[in-house]
């Protein structure tokens, strides 16, 4: 999907055009602010539109607020009401568990539950009283770049990269519409990283999944993201296409990009 983006005067809102048509916005963020208990501003009036079916990369210096922002999107951190909308609905008005099914999350390090890979994949649907059949489990494994031999392995037998793919399959079992990933490959070797990246790109293409990925790897973002959001000191300072990152104007953004490339 060829996407063209235009940023408004403040550099904060994404006014997107996809193939010449206005894309459907999956998530809208409006004046999202977080102040710590000590009065420090962690997020400062973030405004962002996240189009459906695209991969948005989030990059920025350490401590700039990327994880906090990501966690606000499925209420792992509770945003103020009327600041985050999913399909136009204020997420604070949604049942938090159903929100987290729709907006799944994968963390830096996978934590698998006891039992087999299949038990892990079946976990989410089971909570709703649905038992996935073998074929459904195999399909989720395949979506996560794992072959059927993993079905009956236990978590302890897996490498971190394999466990991360099982964690992905477990998240996908909830049939999310949005996937949030917080540095999902920073603990992985290049091959495992490529496996995860391939899975993400396939999910976008085949299921129109909306994906928001925080990464410290600018190269990774350039490989898979359709649009990049640059966060500095709790503010979105640039929204760019990945091949135009060098055009970032904010001085901190330029410095960060120079040091990271």
Ligand X SMILES: Nc1ncnc2c1ncn2[C@@H]1O[C@H](COP(=O)(O)OP(=O)(O)OP(=O)(O)O)[C@@H](O)[C@H]1O
Contact set with ligand X (CB under 6 A): 36, 42, 60, 62-68
CA atoms of 215 and 4, how far apart (whole Å): 22
- Residue 91, exposed/middle/buried by CB under 10 A (0-12, 13-18, 19+)? buried
Residue 167 near residue 143 (C-beta atoms within 8 A): no
CA atoms of 209 and 147, how far apart (whole Å): 22
Assigned token pair, 100 = 């987290």
| Least separation in angstroms between CB 213 and ligand X | 12
79: Cβ–Cβ under 8 A, 6 or more apart, which residues?
32, 34, 72, 91, 92
| Least separation in angstroms between CB 183 and ligand X | 7
| Least separation in angstroms between CB 79 and ligand X | 13
Nearest residue (CB) to ligand X, 41 versus 223 = 41
CA atoms of 76 and 106, how far apart (whole Å): 12
Other CB atoms within 10 A of residue 179 CB: 24
- Phi, psi for residue 165 in degrees, rounded to 5: -70, -35
Nearest residue (CB) to ligand X, 16 versus 60 = 60
| Least separation in angstroms between CB 232 and ligand X | 9
Nearest residue (CB) to ligand X, 39 versus 156 = 39
| Least separation in angstroms between CB 77 and ligand X | 7
Q: Which helix (H) or strand (E) holds 157?
A: none
Nearest residue (CB) to ligand X, 143 versus 179 = 179
Nearest residue (CB) to ligand X, 47 versus 67 = 67
């Amino acid at each position: 999907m060829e996407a063209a983006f235009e940023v408004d005067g403040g550099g904060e809102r994404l006014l997107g055009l996809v193939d010449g048509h206005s894309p459907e916005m999956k998530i809208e963020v409006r004046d999202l602010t977080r102040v710590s208990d000590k009065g420090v501003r962690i997020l400062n009036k973030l405004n962002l539109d996240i189009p459906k079916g695209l991969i948005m990369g989030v990059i920025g210096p350490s401590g700039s607020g990327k994880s906090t922002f990501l966690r606000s999107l499925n209420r792992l951190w509770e945003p103020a009401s009327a600041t985050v909308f999913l399909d136009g609905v204020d997420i604070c008005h949604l049942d938090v568990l159903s929100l987290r099914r729709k907006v799944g999350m994968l963390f830096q390090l996978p934590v698998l539950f006891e039992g087999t890979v299949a038990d892990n994949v079946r976990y989410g649907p089971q909570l709703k009283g649905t038992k996935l059949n073998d074929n459904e489990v195999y399909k989720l494994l395949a979506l996560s770049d794992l072959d059927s031999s993993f079905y009956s392995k236990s978590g302890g037998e897996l490498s971190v990269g394999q466990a991360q793919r099982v964690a992905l399959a477990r998240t996908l079992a909830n049939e999310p519409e949005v996937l949030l990933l917080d540095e999902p490959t920073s603990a992985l070797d290049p091959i495992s990283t490529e496996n995860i990246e391939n899975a993400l790109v396939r999910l976008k293409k085949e299921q129109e999944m909306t994906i928001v990925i925080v990464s410290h790897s600018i190269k990774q973002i350039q490989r898979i993201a359709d649009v990049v959001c640059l966060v500095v000191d709790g503010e979105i300072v640039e929204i760019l296409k990945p091949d135009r990152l060098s055009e970032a104007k904010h001085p901190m953004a330029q410095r960060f990009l120079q040091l990271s490339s």
